[in-house]
Structure 1
């Protein structure tokens, strides 16, 4: 039995670690590219959502980006201070805050359009490989967003 436990606890058997490491390394790869347009990685993600459709509620941004309000609110405050966005109460429902782009925020869209190609070159993966990787990771995100109660049932060594 100890061999089974040892195998379960090997770092190279975990799904969480390569995802964590890849996320960390990918964020580092983005940093110098995004520095050139004056955005952090999280700010870039917010801008991507807003460039698709604005205005958005704070709640819808949080859902789309899988961020809680404790992370999102200070981020949006900094983006507002940098004059990239505005936050206003929804006139039809004062409980909701609408986030929209400023002219400065809209103007960043064009230079940001070069970010994906720059990163793709850095990763040296084909379009098909990038698509397959994105789809596989998106499948995992989808699976993780489905609420499942945690139990103590044993799982296989390669599960998580």
Structure 2
């Protein structure tokens, strides 16, 4: 390779630039993994959280995934129409909407997860479990630092 072409100047030393490039590559890889399944990264995340927390309030899912209320309402509407999610009412607060996966939603999540995990294993090739855990912990620490910076 041409050394001058590979010199990104100040970008070489900016972690944010490398995060963006990696995030873009991972997003493209995600899209390839779920091609044909009709699921997006955000809907996959919502299904994942609901699966882990059956009966969770809609607002809590939005908070956990940093999804604005209006976008969350639309997302849940779409997932309900697709028969992946069911809505319910919280017995302690009848105004609160609770969410659960349908059997179809569970199948969609499982099919997507299997494909995503297979692709992610290739992306993380050469890293052991400790390194992956450390990477995730580091990324979470950086995210929290950014969120608390203001």
Q: Could you tell me the TM-score, scaled by structure 2's length?
A: 0.77
What does 1:131-142 align with in structure 2 at a 5 Å threshold?
131-142=133-144
- Larger relative CO (CA 8 A, sep 6+): 1 or 2? 1
RMSD: 2.4
Residues 85 and 105 of structure 2 are in contact (CA less than 8 Å); yes or no, is this contact kept in structure 1?
yes
- In 2, the alpha carbon distance for the partners of 1:17 and 1:77 equals 35
Distance 1:41 1:11 in 2: 27
Q: Please report the TM-score for the alignment, with normalisation by the length of structure 1.
A: 0.73
Secondary structure at 1:35 match in 2:
coil
Q: Give the corresponding residue for 1:5.
A: none
1:1-160 aligned within 5 A: 10-114=10-114, 115-128=116-129, 129-146=131-148, 148-149=149-150
Shift of 1:46: 0.9
Residue 12 of structure 1 and its aligned partner are, at CA, apart by 4.0
Runs of at least 5 residues in structure 2 that lack an aligned partner in the other structure: 1-9
Asked if structure 1 preserves the Cα contact closer than 8 Å seen for 2:58 and 2:99, the reply is yes
Higher helix share: 2
